[in-house]
């Protein structure tokens, strides 16, 4: 996937002016100083706690996950504790989050980590991707948040911001769109990528929302492709 990402960078490099990218980073970095949300998994460096959070956050909102996450870590504070649990016990704890297959995949992943990685959360994207239930987004999130690796992420929030602001058009299934993955990597800063990823997630959840984005108060508005088109249409 990584080489595919690198190869497709040529497809859009010309579309993204360097100055616009710098401005985009600056505006969002400034926005984040006042607006990043606080969640317990964002203030820990414990790879296990971050691994659990990323599993629970799959297709589930952070506010929904927060109370379940606290209960989960109280019950299973370490990977060794979790390794003693049955699938059924994990499923009961995770039931309020939906996605019934999540418990089974988490259980299977823990087995692999115990057997192949000596009970330590793997610290590479490729190793994480080999675990049941871990896709590219989750693997990269764990690498960035738990191991401070400079790996950008792409989810529907990030895809929406990139498409709107830069005027990109990704595929229907954003999570598999090489163009958008390339864009996400290209616009990310070289350092503090974990914080950058969280910034995009929170900006997409709170400002550049799927429905009724808050363009009127958005710090990106003056250079946003989407806002320009919609404002122009409203003034015709």
Using CB under 6 A as the criterion, which residues of the chain lie in contact with ligand SF4 when the complex forms?
161, 164-165, 207-208, 213-215, 218, 220-221, 224, 226-227
Minimum CB–partner distance for residue 185 and ligand SF4 (Å): 19
Is residue 164 within 8 Å of residue 156, measured between CB atoms? Answer: no
Contacts of 230 (CB under 8 A, 6+ apart): 215
Is residue 121 within 8 Å of residue 47, measured between CB atoms? Answer: yes
Q: How far is it, in rounded angstroms, from Cα 63 to Cα 228? A: 32
Contacts of 209 (CB under 8 A, 6+ apart): none
Q: Which is nearer to ligand SF4, 52 or 161 (CB)?
A: 161
Q: Which is nearer to ligand SF4, 147 or 165 (CB)?
A: 165
Minimum CB–partner distance for residue 217 and ligand SF4 (Å): 8
Q: Single out the residue of 206, 153, 198, 204 nearest to residue 39, CA to CA.
A: 198
In this structure, what is the dihedral angle of CA atoms 125, 109, 66, 184, given to the nearest 10 degrees? Answer: 20
Q: Which is nearer to ligand SF4, 107 or 226 (CB)?
A: 226
Q: Which is nearer to ligand SF4, 189 or 206 (CB)?
A: 206
CA 221 to chain centre: 23
Query: What are the two backbone dihedrals, phi and then psi, of residue 61, each rounded to the nearest 5 degrees?
Result: -75, 150
Q: Which is nearer to ligand SF4, 97 or 198 (CB)?
A: 198
Minimum CB–partner distance for residue 27 and ligand SF4 (Å): 9
Minimum CB–partner distance for residue 203 and ligand SF4 (Å): 8
Which tokens go with 94?
A: 């995770």
Q: Which is nearer to ligand SF4, 132 or 189 (CB)?
A: 189
Q: How far is it, in rounded angstroms, from Cα 194 to Cα 102? A: 24
First-to-final CA distance of the chain: 44
Q: Which is nearer to ligand SF4, 122 or 213 (CB)?
A: 213
Cβ neighbours, 10 Å, residue 74: 8
């Amino acid at each position: 996937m990584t080489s595919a990402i690198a190869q497709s960078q040529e497809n859009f490099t010309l579309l993204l002016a360097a100055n616009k990218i710098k401005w985009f980073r600056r505006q969002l970095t400034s926005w984040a100083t006042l607006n990043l949300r606080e969640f317990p998994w964002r203030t820990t460096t414990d790879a296990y706690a971050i691994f659990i959070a990323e599993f629970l956050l799959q297709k589930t909102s952070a506010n929904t996950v927060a109370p379940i996450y606290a209960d989960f870590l109280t019950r299973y504070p370490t990977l060794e504790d979790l390794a003693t649990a049955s699938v059924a016990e994990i499923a009961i704890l995770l039931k309020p989050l939906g996605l019934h297959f999540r418990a089974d995949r988490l259980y299977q992943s823990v087995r692999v980590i115990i057997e192949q990685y000596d009970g330590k959360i793997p610290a590479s994207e490729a190793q994480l991707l080999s675990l049941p239930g871990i896709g590219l987004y989750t693997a990269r999130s764990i690498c960035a948040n738990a191991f401070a690796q400079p790996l950008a992420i792409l989810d529907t929030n990030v895809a929406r911001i990139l498409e709107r602001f830069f005027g990109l058009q990704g595929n229907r299934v954003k999570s598999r769109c090489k163009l958008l993955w390339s864009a996400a990597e290209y616009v990310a800063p070289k350092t503090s990528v974990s914080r950058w990823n969280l910034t995009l997630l929170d900006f997409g959840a709170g400002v550049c929302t799927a429905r009724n984005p808050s363009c009127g108060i958005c710090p990106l508005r003056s250079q946003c492709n989407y806002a320009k088109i919609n404002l122009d249409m409203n003034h015709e």
